[in-house]
Amino acid sequence: MREVVDGVFELNLGFVHVHLVITDEGVVLVDTGLPGRSARIDKALAEIRKTVGDVTTVLLTHHHPDHIGNVADLRRRSGARVFAHAADAPVITGAIERVAPNRLVKLVLKDPEPTKIDQLITGDESEPITGFTALHTPGHTRGHVSYLLDRAGGILFTGDAATGARGGKVAAAPRMSSVDPAEENRSIAKIATFTFEHAVFGHGRAISGGAVQRFREYASAKAR
């Protein structure tokens, strides 16, 4: 685990990241990683002198199992409020079955335990909790959400709207895991209209300093 900016920590859980944010109201988790990794999140909380009881909010970027794997357990043990977009909610709550791109992915990424969502995110932009703006960034999933935190010049929690590529560049998520790659590119262009210095990703290296410019470069190249 490493501190990206003051009070924002990136925890590597295999091939996916979970982000922990210390706020005045408690600890905010952005996504929860692969199923069965709650103990690793507990350990990370202990490293920053916190416990699961300090977690007050879980912000979910989308319904894929490597991002919602531990949300049911964490919600149950912490009492945290869970936020997710209305378009992805039926998969998270178990109302409809997850559709994997192929059988291998279905076997490797097992279905997480369903959980209740305490507040649905709707519309293009909203403020789920103080300091965070939720940006609807569909393409990877219909209800994908990225979160912009007003801290240190702005830090974007990209989720899988994009990935962090080599050389501090931005790339799109693999096509087989996205429901609409063209819409995903439009979402990256939307992100590029905001202002932020830092970006963290569900997959790939964080960008510290001038992050929005990397998004603008990607959007400009796709627009040609």
The domain spans of the chain are 2-223
* Nearest-10 Cα torsion for 129, 78, 90, 156: 40
CA separation for the pair 211, 213 (Å, rounded): 5
| pLDDT, tens digit (0-9, with 9 covering 90-100), for 130-186 | 999 999 999 999 999 999 999 999 999 999 999 999 999 999 988 888 999 999 999
| pLDDT, tens digit (0-9, with 9 covering 90-100), for 200-210 | 999 999 999 99
At 123 the pLDDT is 87
At 135 the pLDDT is 98
Beta bridge partners of 172: none
Alpha helices in the chain (DSSP H): 38-47, 65-68, 71-78, 89-93, 103-108, 181-191, 211-223
| 119 Cβ neighbours under 8 A, 6+ residues apart | 81, 82, 83, 128
Region 7-30 average pLDDT: 97
**Does the pLDDT value for residue 105 go beyond 60?**
no
Region 18-42 average pLDDT: 97
At 162 the pLDDT is 97
| pTM for this model (two decimals) | 0.95
Quote the mean pLDDT of the chain.
94
Could you tell me if 32 and 67 are in contact, meaning their C-beta atoms sit under 8 angstroms apart?
A: yes
Structure tokens, 24 = 């005045």
Class of CATH domain 2-223: alpha beta
